[in-house]
Amino acid sequence: MRWVVLVAVLLFGGSAALFAVQNSSRTTQLSFDLGVAAWQLSEPVSVPALIAVCVGIGFLLGAVPLGLRSLRLGSRVRELEANVAVNQALGKDAGAKDPGSW
29 within some domain: no
52 within some domain: yes
**pTM exceeds 0.85, yes or no:** no
DSSP string of the chain? -HHHHHHHHHHHHHHHHHHHHHTTT-EE--EEE-SS-EEE-SS-EEHHHHHHHHHHHHHHHHHHHHHHHHHHHHHHHHHHHHHHHHHHHTT---SPPPTT--
10 within some domain: no
Residue ranges making up the domain that contains 70 = 46-91
What is the chain's pLDDT, residue by residue, as a tens digit (102 residues)?
899 999 999 999 899 889 888 988 899 998 888 888 889 888 999 999 899 999 999 999 999 999 999 999 999 999 999 999 998 888 865 455 555 555
16 within some domain: no
75 within some domain: yes
34 within some domain: no
Q: How many domains does the chain have?
A: 1
12 within some domain: no
